Structure formats: C-alpha cells, structure tokens
Amino acid sequence: MKPTVFIAHPIPEIGIDRLRKRFEVSVHPEIRPMAPEVMIRKMADCSAVISLLCDRIDAPLLDQCPGLKIIANHAVGYENIDVAAANERGVLVTHTPGVLTHATAEIAFALLITLTRRIIEADRFTRKGLFIGWDPLLLRGDELAGRTIGIIGMGRIGRDMARKCRAFDMTILYHNRHPVDSETEKALDARYVSLDELLARSDALSIHAPATPETRHLIDAAAFAKMKPGAYLINAARGEIVHEAALAEALASGKIKGAGLDVYEFEPKITEALLDMKNVVLLPHIGSATREARDRMSAMAADNVIAALEGRKPPNLVPEMADLSP
Ligand code: DGY
C-alpha cells in the first residue's frame, strides 16, 4: 500500500502533482482552519501532512497520529507546530526558507511606498472623479530618499528589504538578536543599533523578525512612545510582534503617521479601529503571494515529504532539527 499524504488546505498544483505520482494524496478543500477533531480524523492514518500556519499541530494531536513521519509546513515560519513534541515522537518538521524572500520584501517595500506616497488615497480620489487638474498642493506625501529605515530582524527578508531601501537612497539602521557579520553590513550599507536607538531615529520601521516569545509585543505602547514622531510602521512579518491596540492608539493620537500591515495580532481578525483609518494600508497576509514564490513553496514542501517518505533527510528541516542524521 502506498503511504498517504494529507494536504490540510488547497496549495499550488505543482507540489500536489509531485506527490500524486508517488503516494495516496488527499487535499482538504477549505482554507478555514479545521476543528481539532477534524484534524485528528484526517491525520490519524497519514504518513505525512502538509500544513499551513493556521494548523495548530501539538502533542495531543501528534499522539493520535502514530504513523506520522513528517509535518511539512507550507511556510517559512513554523510557530504553529510544537517542534519539541514532534521531535520527541520522531516526527520530522520542515519549512520553506529562502523561496519567498523577494516576494515578502517586495510587499514590505510596497507597503512603505504606498503609505508614504498615499497611493490608496490617491486612487480613491481619482476614481471618485475628484481630479480636476494638476494641483501643486494635492496629496503631498513623504519622499523616501534621504530618510532612515529601521529594520527589525536582519535575516534573509530583512536584508532584502535593506537592499530595496538602499536602492531608494535611504539610510539603513537595523536591530537584530546579534549584529550581522561586518561584510554583510558593508554590502548592505547598514548599521546595527539598539532597539531604543532604532525607534528614536527611524522615519519608518519595518518588521522582519519571527514570532517567538521574545518578539511578542516587542512593539507595544512603550515602544510607540519612543518612536520618532510622525514615523511609519510596516509589518509583513508576524502580527503578534505588534500590540495592535497600542498601534491603533499611536495612530489615533498622531504619534505615528501611518501603518502598513500584512499580518495581524489576532489573524484573521483585525482591530476594528484600524479599518476606518485613512493612513493605514491593510493586506490579507499576501507577503509570499507571487506565483513564483507560492509554486516554489508548494514544490519545496512536496520535496520534503518525498525525501522523508523515501527514507532520506528532508532538505529543509527546521533549524532545531537541522543536525539530525539522515
Ligand atoms: C510564511 O511563510 O511564514 C509566511 O508568513 C506565509 O508566506
């Protein structure tokens, strides 16, 4: 009998096709998260699962899946999976690093320029028929050139964001758990500073850190108070890093000038107050949503499953498991 693979939501065909050539594959047709009892029913007899960030995979669930060999997350983040519990039960965990770097940095940069040049407001204004002629006072925004971007998290995506901002003649400051090596700093023309200095000096802050207990609410009311007045906030990383009620307050009080968000603290729910603010751009977690990136994610998740079920070491084990022998 062929091993069975459960794909917890629809994903691009490329990965599904690869798996169908080798295994019994079932795809749950809905994007909404499954109730835990449905997850158990669907996964109980599987050898592999391809999961999304909305699928909570924890010890009680894993205990119901004795034949499970691999959880291949269709995302670079994997905070939805209890990796220690998987490790204890001999279940491999993989993710999709490297293939969505450009796409995600592009969306962060798009949020930045959309806010600073008031693109959404301008589009609405034009569609309403309000454009009556070139107007020297109309919809003036903020120029990026010469301003300072503060990057929180200098991994692959943060570095790519730095490159994009550099190309627009911005000054690059960053904060990270550790400074990156000096060659990378030089290549990016980026300078490491403390979080407080980053908050105080950045005209725009862009978050590119993972969701961890340390980064939860890193940007809270106290952080907003330290930000340069009139700065912008961009978050295309994880919603939990920003205290969303404090963000709404900082926007309402005019402490910060605008926010561009692709992710939310209580995703998919969005703090009500943000919905009516003109100086906020809201996207539905589409950082990696290019055809190229999503195809690569699907193919990568499938290749990880294939390797695991054929007895090889999957190429993209999560860092906590990267040292496992094949
Ligand atoms: C990820 O991969 O972690 C993103 O948030 C979805 O692309």
Query: For residue range 219-272, what is the model confidence (pLDDT) as tens digits?
Result: 999 999 999 999 999 999 999 999 999 999 999 999 999 999 999 999 999 999
71-96 burial, b for 16+ CB within 10 Å, e for fewer?
bbbbbbbbbbbbbebbeeeebbbbbb
Domain edges within the chain = 4-97+291-321, 101-282
**Using one digit for the tens of pLDDT, what is the confidence trace for 181-201?**
999 999 999 999 999 999 999
pLDDT of residue 125: 98
Q: 282-292 pLDDT, tens per residue?
A: 999 999 999 99
The fold adopted by the segment(s) 4-97+291-321 is Rossmann fold (3.40.50)
Residue that the structure tokens 């190429």 belong to:
315
Between CA 147 and CA 171 the distance in angstroms is 6
pLDDT in tens, 51-101: 999 999 999 999 999 999 999 999 999 999 999 999 999 999 999 999 999
- Classified by CATH at the fold level, domain 101-282 comes out as Rossmann fold (3.40.50)
Whole-number pLDDT of residue 189? 98
- The model's pTM is 0.95
Q: Which residue, judged by its Cα, is nearest atom 4 of ligand 1?
A: 75
pLDDT of residue 20: 98
Structure confidence at residue 117 (pLDDT): 98
Question: For the packed helices 291-309 and 13-20, what is the interaxial angle rounded to 10 degrees?
Answer: 20
Ligand 1 atom index nearest CA of 293: 7
Structure-block tokens of residue 267: 């995703």
Cis omega (within 30 of 0) on the bond before 268?
A: yes
| 81 vs 325 pLDDT, higher one | 81
pLDDT at 326 over 80: no
User: CB under 8 Å to 64, separation ≥6 — which residues?
Assistant: 40, 43, 44
How far apart CA 150 and CA 206 sit, in angstroms, is: 6
For residue 324, the model assigns a pLDDT of: 75
Q: One of 102, 238, 243, 296 is an active-site residue; which one?
A: 238
- Other C-beta atoms within 10 Å of 215: how many? 19
- The residue whose CA has the least distance to atom 7 of ligand 1 is 288
Q: Please list every protein residue whose CB sits less than 6 Å from any atom of ligand 1.
A: 75-77, 100, 287-288
Parallel, antiparallel, or unpaired: how do β-strands 256-261 and 231-235 relate?
Answer: parallel
H helix and E strand count, the chain: 13, 12
- Res 199: pLDDT: 98
Look at residue 325 and tell me whether its pLDDT is greater than 90.
no
